[in-house]
Amino acid sequence: MSQLDGKRVVITGGGSGIGADMAQAFAEAGADVVITGRRGGPLEEVAARHPSISYAVADVTQEDDMASLFEHLGEVDIVIANAGAAESAPLIRTELEQWQRMLEVNLTGVFLTLREGLKRLRDGGRLIAVASTAGLKGYPYVAPYCAAKHGVVGLVRALAQEVAGRDITVNALCPGFTETPLLEASVATIVAKTGQTAEQARAHLQSTNPGGRLVQPAEVTATALWLCGPHSGAIHGQAISISGGET
């Protein structure tokens, strides 16, 4: 019997990067995995990798999307609020729309995912939010993203207090720069705005991780799997840095 046999898992933003890696690993561990995102194509591609992965198109910023997703799914065991996006600009040139976009996808999206998930979470359930080291410290040129990710850590800590004593846990994962399409988009922005080469931009981002190297999606996935394991019920309300060092 596998570790997660019979468990129903929802992963938002499962069509790429960390979410796609988690989907495969959770399915291989025996879970029945549902991935979501806005674009059907990448979701379909990830779902084709394992018979226990299915997908639904849903936007985490839309209350109706998230409510009907969980209504359709019924009871769930593990909810991973992973969807997110990172746009960069100096604060002084950050438009209100960009600020709102970053808060909506990175913070409101987590709120809606965890709220709807909690309504249908079975005993022994696990709620996980993929925050970031940007939820624990500041980074230049991404103030809205940092503010949203700090908000995610606060949301997780508050919810942990609310559900304390119940047979469920809620935690935040805080990866440093991780090799995914989101990182490649950040590299492309730096190249476009500074004239650095992609190699220079990547080396710079990598050097800001305490471990001096990029994190791999599998390292984030392994932490999520551990949180969902049989002996992790006492890990609750934590913001776990996955960055190779102290954040």
What is the set of active-site residues?
145
Binding mask 11-30 for ligand NAP (x = CB under 6 A): -xx-xxxxx-----------
The angle subtended at Cα 125 by Cα 122 and Cα 130, nearest 5°, is: 135
What part of residues 53-112 is at the interface with ligand NAP (CB under 6 A)?
Answer: 59-61, 82-86, 105, 109
Which lies closer to ligand NAP via its Cβ, residue 85 or residue 163? 85
Binding mask 185-224 for ligand NAP (x = CB under 6 A): ----------------------------------------
125 binds ligand NAP (CB under 6 A): no
Q: Are 168 and 123 in contact (CB under 8 A)?
A: yes
Shortest CB 230 distance to ligand NAP, Å: 26
Sign of CA dihedral 85, 86, 91, 92: negative
Residue type, 58: A
Taking alpha carbons only, the member of 58, 53, 51 closest to residue 72 is 58
Size of the site for ligand NAP (CB under 6 A): 30
Which lies closer to ligand NAP via its Cβ, residue 82 or residue 223? 82
Which residues of this chain interact with ligand NAP, rule CB under 6 A?
Answer: 12-13, 15-19, 37-39, 42, 59-61, 82-86, 105, 109, 130, 132, 175, 177-178, 180-183
